[in-house]
Amino acid sequence: MIIATNVTKQYGKLKALDDVSVTCNRGQSISLIGPNGSGKTTFIKCLLGMVVPDSGFITFDKQNIAKDWKYRQHIGYMPQTGRYPDNMTIDQLLRMMKDIRKPFNPVFDNELFESFDLGKISNKRMSNLSGGTRQKVSASLAFLFQPQVLILDEPTAGLDPVASEILKEKIRKEKEKGKLILITSHILSDLDDIITEVIYLQDGRLVFHKSLENLKKDTGKDRLSGAIASVMSKIQTR
């Protein structure tokens, strides 16, 4: 569904992405893993078209995204830190987003909005919200339009355990519907039962892209966190 081919992105001297090629298919839920500054967020931003690669290209359903913008109707994006216009209230933000995406996604999924109970604070301005509440809003927005692809950048960071659980439950549910889910997260234990694939990035380079089963087999560990830890130490000693 999403194929990245030789994607390279450089910020000044820093190579954020170096010749990255991956293929992501429907029904997979992929964890993007790597140390800080390994290029995870840049890669996601490339997928979303927020960052334009210096070379290489990305296709979405066999369409090059460089000249396309309509493919984004199929994507729900939850940013690492949600930044929204300060003057808007939650309600206005939601209405605006619905207004913008209505032509593409006329049916809304309000489940997260309701389970996070955002309705009772919908008149609060975005600038007055706590980081966690903002994350809740971001999550609600990502799922609101029932997209085929969910890109979640650190989804559980900053959420309280209850909200975190609600979100994970929602991700699981959507996964079962056969959607492609891309997650980056530090907290690996969160991901164990959700993900099927692992993409490991380091210093902008793709280290490996394996299914979770293969990874466990290769490392001999039965938990994701253990598997990744062994991979990381292996790489560092190399």
Partner 1 sequence: MNKIIKYVILDILKNRIVIGYALLLLCMSLSVFNMETDTSKGLLSLLNVILIIVPLVSIIFSTIYIYNASEFIELLVSQPLKRKNIWLSLVAGLGLSLSLAFIGGCVLPILIYNGNGTGIMIASMGIILTVIFVAIAALSAVYTRDKAKGIGVSILLWLFFTLLYDGLVMFLLFQFMDYPVEKGLVAVSMLNPVDLSRIMILLKLDISALMGVTSAVFKSFFGQSWGMILSISVMLLWVIVPLSLSVKKFKIKNL
Chain residues binding partner 1 by CB under 8 A are 11, 45, 48-52, 69-73, 75, 77, 79, 83-88, 96-97, 99-101, 104
78, 152 in Cβ contact below 8 A?
Answer: yes
Q: Which residue's CB is nearer to partner 1, number 137 or number 224?
A: 137
Cβ-in-10-Å burial (0-12, 13-18, 19+) of 107 comes to exposed
Q: Residue 13 has which token pair?
A: 């001297």
Nearer to partner 1, 72 or 170 (CB): 72
The nearer residue to partner 1, 138 or 164, going by C-beta atoms, is 138
Q: What's the token pair of residue 70?
A: 């309509």
Given a contact cutoff of 8 angstroms between Cβ atoms, the answer to whether 189 and 228 are in contact is no
What is the nearest approach in angstroms of partner 1 to the Cβ of residue 93?
A: 9
Give the shortest CB-53-to-partner 1 separation in angstroms.
10
Q: Rounded distance, CA 232 to CA 71, Å? A: 35
Per the CB < 8 A criterion, the answer to whether 123 and 91 are in contact is: yes
> Which residue lies nearer to partner 1 by CB, 97 or 194?
97
Closer residue to partner 1 in complex, CB, 149/159: 149
Residue 161, Cβ density class (10 Å: 0-12 exposed, 13-18 middle, ≥19 buried): exposed
Least distance from partner 1 to the Cβ atom of residue 37, Å: 16
Q: Taking every pair of C-alpha atoms in the chain, what is the biggest distance, in angstroms?
A: 54
Q: How far is the CB of 42 from partner 1 (least distance, A)?
A: 9
Nearest distance, CB of residue 72 and partner 1, angstroms: 4
CB of 96 to partner 1, least distance (A): 5
Task: Please state, as a whole number, how many other Cβ atoms lie within 10 Å of the Cβ of residue 116.
Answer: 22
CB-wise, 34 or 82, nearer to partner 1?
Answer: 82
Around Cβ 5, how many Cβ atoms within 10 Å? 16
